[in-house]
Amino acid sequence: MHWWFPGDGNAYSTLGGKIDDLFYLILVIVSVTFVGTSAALGYALWRGASIKPEEKVWFSHGSHSLEVIWTIVPSAVLLFIALYQLDVWAEYRMKGFAKEKDGSPKQITVVAEVTARQFEWRIRYPANGKPLKPTPQPDDIYSVNELHVPTGGLVSITLRTDDVQHAFFVPMLRVKQDAVPGKMIPVWFDATMPRDYEMLCAELCGWGHYKMKAKLVAQSADDFEAWKNKASAEQFDDGYRKPAE
Amino acid sequence: MSTLNPTLDHADHADHGDHSHGHDHAHKQSFISQYVFSTDHKMIGKQFLITTMLMMMVGGALALAVRWQLARPWERMPIFGDMVFGADGGQISPDAYTMLFTMHATVMIFLVIIPVLAGAFGNFLIPLQIGADDMAFPTLNMLSYWFMWPAIFLFGASFFMYGGGPASGWTSYPLLSLLREAAPGSGDAQTLWLLGLTFVGVSSMMGSVNYMTTIINMRAPGMTLFRMPLTIWSMFITAILQAFALPVLTAAGFMMVSDRMLGTCFFVPSGIVVNNAPPTVGGGQTLLWQHLFWFYSHPAVYIMLLPAMGMVSDMLACMCRKPVFGYKPMVYSMAAIAGLGFIVWGHHMFISGMNPALGMTFMVSTIMIALPSAIKTFNWIGTIWGGRVQFNSVMLYCTAFVSMFVIGGLSGIFMAAVPVDIYIHDTYFIVAHFHYVIFGATLFGVFGAIQFWFPKMYGRMMNETVGKIHFLLTFIGFNCTFYPMHMLGIAGMPRRYADPYHFPYLEHLLPLNQFMTAAAFLMGFAQFLLLGNFFYSMYFGPKCGRNPWGANGLEWTAPSPPGHGNFDVLPVVYHGPYEYGSPVSGDKDFLMQTEYVPLAQRVAAEEHH
């Protein structure tokens, strides 16, 4: 009976933790509101049902001061909720574009280009020690339905689609972004623990929408580099070996 | 029959001599002009109501098929599955699944919720509640009903196209919906779907123009704007919303049809290869569709809610025997919802890849739209507070409306908050949210309204016991089906998955889904009680007088059912619509809007108070 956040309920990314905190904050506020309004509604109904026949109803067309109170108080709470969220959103989608305080551009490693298509994920990594280029390079490394990223710091992927819309969704990291035809969208996230995470599509993309099953493999930086070397060696291996001398 | 000037009507009767006493059967009408191509707003309202109730059963059947797949994935579905998916051994194939949820939403939104509010109750109630003898444009009104039928046929026919029905969701995001190769359902079915949507739009637009004109021009003497029942205010605001938002959707629909059929590329970027088809030439933007679509469809959410809010306010005041608390704040908050409703569409697109800066403004406006909703809720509770609550089925439906609306409204805050939305976007959380608002609030309001205004429609009462049983079963079934969806969403289960259990982290949700499906079937079959009650009471219900509920509105001064032309006496309005329990009302606890109280009596009551 585990009907809460997936896995052990924790987010495995820094931002995911903040998102969960905001979720719980809203949950507390709406729970209090729900209990309060439901209690008021229940009490009003109970009183209205037990009113005596000779008793008169409360003949009132409203109360100006009550209206003022229940306009100002909720608007203050709502405005607080809204403004309190802004920073996390900025961190998720905007701060990566901004420059550092000293004017240098942000250093977020672009690890891979993730291209969604009906119904799989194709991933292209640059060769070790090289940056990702917008167009495919001869020494690029490819994988399908398995995205490897290093842990320990923000990484970025470039999200694309070959055909219709898809969405990149890693529930345990609380990351989601639509892949839009004709656009290349950077997505930043970090994975705090080296392990496998489930990765899926969250935007209707056709009959096979439910089967775009993939995994995100978070590894330490060394393991990631080693994996890339190994993958590159496998990919470019043509089976030819020099005859034994 | 001219409607703008009722005196002409009287002159007409005078010419025919002895007919003048009987407004209602002044003209003998043929069966066709009375029941089929009727220009009488009441008949059109009833036509809309019965059509939408039948469509509700169709949409419900589609939903139950969806629920079947989620409870018993890839298993043979008895009866329905054997009939429809016989070739697949009675099991729902993944592409059929996408068609089922697409058409469930399409039918429920475009053929049930929007027409039942504006079409059925708007038509029936507007002239009666403002004291007019019909709509301003009766023929246009008739056409607005008959334009629904091409839509119904086009939606229906789309299932029989090569490849099956439309399968890109009711939102029809391109390129999935646009390129024929993208999905089996994106062939001719999608074109028919778009044309059907256009017909629904034309129908709504004709209604909207009519309602605005009627409400502005045809109010009875004394019916000032702030003496109008909140139902009329809500219909008025809805009509304005529709008039401004709908053209955008119609234009977008035509753009998509021309992309599909004429080779334009409004929504098609270049170089896209779908299913090994030749690359698109393009130059367009897929996000443009989302903006245009939601620019209509977000206000449409309020089109699907505001009239129910108005009707529930009317019914609550009547069933609590006291005035609506804060009449003007109610009106202003509806206007605020409508106004803000135009600047929040982007909250459907937080993670769509639009400029992230827009996410911030749309979040603030979206969260602030909760404010007028909160004000309305507090005023409803204030209306019940200190009243004499009549616990009949109407009151039960209205109470359910208020409390389900509270849940639906509060769950909306999670999604309005962009960072939280990153996670719960396109999960079952959103499915829970909009069903709480559209079913939990609107449809319960509609059930109440059916029970409440049925006596005025047919001159007979609906059965109270059956109404209560229907309420209870629907309420239990509804909450057991949709409340757990919040949990599914938090667990990260995405929408529109034919088989979520394919993913290890969702496997454990199967038993919960099976429970929800059982509840959904309970809820679905409970609707036969409503239909049975409705059609049985139409012929065999106990007859009632003009005002069975002791209500104040003008519609209750007319005979039940009102004849053609509505009123036998031209109503003159002296009060607001909610003077229940007024000290000047004498020995009864309501004061009809037409009842004149002499000044002396009013002063005496004031001093006595």
**pTM confidence score:** 0.93
Residue B511's φ and ψ, nearest 5 degrees, are -60, -40
Residue pair B41/B214 in contact (Cβ under 8 Å)? The answer is no
Parallel/antiparallel/unpaired status of strands A166-170 and A196-201: antiparallel
Query: Is the domain of A115 the same as that of A92?
Result: no
Residue ranges of B 288-327 with Cβ closer than 8 A to chain A:
320-327
Q: With respect to residue A119, please indicate whether it lies within any of the assigned structural domains.
A: yes
- d(CA B217, CA B226) in angstroms, rounded, equals 15
Mean pLDDT of chain B: 91
Query: Is the domain of A92 the same as that of A113?
Result: no
pLDDT grade, residue A1 (50/70/90)?
low
Burial class, A233, CB count within 10 angstroms (exposed 0-12 / middle 13-18 / buried 19+)? exposed
Query: Is the domain of A91 the same as that of A189?
Result: no
Query: What is the pLDDT at residue A242?
Result: 85
What is the amino acid identity at position A74? P
Query: Is the domain of A82 the same as that of A134?
Result: no
Query: Is the domain of A117 the same as that of A224?
Result: yes
Mean pLDDT, residues B236-260: 94
Query: Is the domain of A129 the same as that of A92?
Result: no
Give the C-alpha distances (Å, rounded to integers) separating B485 from B244, B480, B515: 34, 9, 11
Query: Is the domain of A143 the same as that of A196?
Result: yes
Q: Which residues contact A101 (CB under 8 A, 6 or more apart)?
A: none
Binary contact (B98, A206; C-beta < 8 A): yes
B373 to chain A, any CB pair closer than 8 A? The answer is no
Query: What is the pLDDT at residue A106?
Result: 73
Chain A neighbors of B413, CB-CB under 8 A: 26, 29-30, 78, 81
> Which of the residues B316, B505, B512, B513 would you substitute to probe the A interface, choosing the one with the greatest number of A C-beta atoms within 10 Å?
B505
Parallel/antiparallel/unpaired status of strands A214-219 and A175-179: unpaired
Share of chain A above pLDDT 70, in %: 99
- d(CA B386, CA A45) in angstroms, rounded, equals 9
Query: What is the pLDDT at residue B396?
Result: 96
- Of B329, B388, B498, nearest to A210 by CB-CB distance is B498
Query: What is the pLDDT at residue B81?
Result: 84
What is the amino acid identity at position B366? T
Q: Is 90 exceeded by the pLDDT of residue A36?
A: yes
Q: With respect to residue A242, please indicate whether it lies within any of the assigned structural domains.
A: no
- d(CA B116, CA A173) in angstroms, rounded, equals 43
Q: A64-89 and B370-384 helices cross at what angle (nearest 10)?
A: 150
* Residue B114 CA to its chain's centroid (Å): 4
Digit-coded pLDDT (tens) for B208-221: 999 999 999 999 99
- CATH of residue A198: 2.60.40.420
Digit-coded pLDDT (tens) for A130-188: 999 999 999 999 999 999 999 988 899 999 999 999 999 999 999 999 999 999 999 99
Q: Is 80 exceeded by the pLDDT of residue B28?
A: no
Query: What is the pLDDT at residue B14?
Result: 41
Q: With respect to residue A93, please indicate whether it lies within any of the assigned structural domains.
A: yes
Query: What is the pLDDT at residue B461?
Result: 95
pLDDT grade, residue B419 (50/70/90)?
very high
Q: Which residues contact A221 (CB under 8 A, 6 or more apart)?
A: A150, A151, A152
Q: With respect to residue A3, please indicate whether it lies within any of the assigned structural domains.
A: no
B243 to chain A, any CB pair closer than 8 A? The answer is no
Q: Which residues contact B521 (CB under 8 A, 6 or more apart)?
A: B64, B67
Query: Is the domain of A68 the same as that of A129?
Result: no
Q: Which residues pair with A156 in a beta bridge?
A: A110, A188
- d(CA B309, CA B373) in angstroms, rounded, equals 10
Binary contact (B505, A198; C-beta < 8 A): yes
Residue pair A119/A209 in contact (Cβ under 8 Å)? The answer is yes
Query: Is the domain of A21 the same as that of A91?
Result: yes
Q: With respect to residue A206, please indicate whether it lies within any of the assigned structural domains.
A: yes
Closest-CA residue of chain B to A206: B183
The tokens for B22 are: 């009987």
- Of B176, B325, B414, nearest to A62 by CB-CB distance is B325
Mean pLDDT, residues B353-377: 93
Taking the CA of residue B144 and the nearest CA in chain A, the distance in Å comes to: 33
Q: Is 70 exceeded by the pLDDT of residue B19?
A: no
Query: Is the domain of A121 the same as that of A67?
Result: no
- Per DSSP (E only), the strands in B53-168 are none
Binary contact (B497, A209; C-beta < 8 A): yes
- d(CA B256, CA A178) in angstroms, rounded, equals 21
Query: What is the pLDDT at residue B207?
Result: 94
B25 to chain A, any CB pair closer than 8 A? The answer is no
Burial class, A231, CB count within 10 angstroms (exposed 0-12 / middle 13-18 / buried 19+)? middle
Residue pair A162/A117 in contact (Cβ under 8 Å)? The answer is yes
Chain A neighbors of B506, CB-CB under 8 A: 6
Q: Is 90 exceeded by the pLDDT of residue A240?
A: no
User: Which has the closest alpha carbon to B510: B486, B493, B490?
Assistant: B493
Question: Cα torsion for A52, A57, A63, A69, to the nearest 10°?
Answer: 30
Q: In what order do the strands lie in the sheet with A141-144?
A: A141-144, A120-125, A109-117, A155-161, A185-189
Query: What is the pLDDT at residue B35?
Result: 83
Residue pair B112/B56 in contact (Cβ under 8 Å)? The answer is yes
Q: Which residues contact B551 (CB under 8 A, 6 or more apart)?
A: B314, B318, B590
Domain residues for A190?
109-236
Burial class, B181, CB count within 10 angstroms (exposed 0-12 / middle 13-18 / buried 19+)? middle
Domains and CATH numbers, chain B: 36-284 (1.20.210.10), 305-536 (1.20.210.10), 545-609 (no CATH)
Q: What is the ipTM of this complex?
A: 0.94
- d(CA B473, CA A42) in angstroms, rounded, equals 20
- d(CA A59, CA A56) in angstroms, rounded, equals 8
Share of chain B above pLDDT 70, in %: 95
Give B423-437 as a DSSP string.
Answer: HHTTBHHHHHHHHII
Query: What is the pLDDT at residue B605?
Result: 78
Digit-coded pLDDT (tens) for B487-537: 999 999 999 999 999 899 999 999 999 999 999 999 999 999 999 999 999
Residue A238 CB: number of other CB atoms within 10 A?
5
Query: Is the domain of A130 the same as that of A214?
Result: yes
Binary contact (B356, A18; C-beta < 8 A): no
Burial letters B458-496, b for 16+ CB under 10 A, else e: bbbbbbeebbbebbebbbebbbbbbbbbbbbbbbbbbbb
Residue ranges of B 451-510 with Cβ closer than 8 A to chain A:
484, 487-488, 490-492, 494-500, 502-506, 508-509
- Of B399, B413, B497, nearest to A30 by CB-CB distance is B413
- d(CA B177, CA A122) in angstroms, rounded, equals 23
- Domain count within chain A: 2
A51 to chain B, any CB pair closer than 8 A? The answer is yes
Query: What is the pLDDT at residue B609?
Result: 61
* Residue A239 CA to its chain's centroid (Å): 41
What is the amino acid identity at position B297? S
Q: With respect to residue A7, please indicate whether it lies within any of the assigned structural domains.
A: no
Residue pair B530/A242 in contact (Cβ under 8 Å)? The answer is no
- d(CA B33, CA B593) in angstroms, rounded, equals 33
Q: With respect to residue A232, please indicate whether it lies within any of the assigned structural domains.
A: yes
Give A31-81 as a DSSP string.
Answer: HHHHHHHHHHHHHHHHHHHS--TTSPP------HHHHHHHHHHHHHHHHHH
Task: Tell me which of A75-89, A206-220, B207-221, B595-609 is least confident.
Answer: B595-609
B561 prior amide bond cis, ω within 30: yes
Which SS3 state, helix, strand or coil, does residue A160 take? strand
Digit-coded pLDDT (tens) for B117-145: 999 999 999 999 999 999 999 999 999 99
B602 to chain A, any CB pair closer than 8 A? The answer is no
Give the C-alpha distances (Å, rounded to integers) separating B174 from B179, B295, B498, B541: 8, 16, 20, 50
Q: With respect to residue A120, please indicate whether it lies within any of the assigned structural domains.
A: yes
Q: Is 70 exceeded by the pLDDT of residue B206?
A: yes
pLDDT grade, residue B538 (50/70/90)?
very high
Query: What is the pLDDT at residue B80?
Result: 82
Parallel/antiparallel/unpaired status of strands A214-219 and A146-150: parallel
Query: Is the domain of A68 the same as that of A119?
Result: no
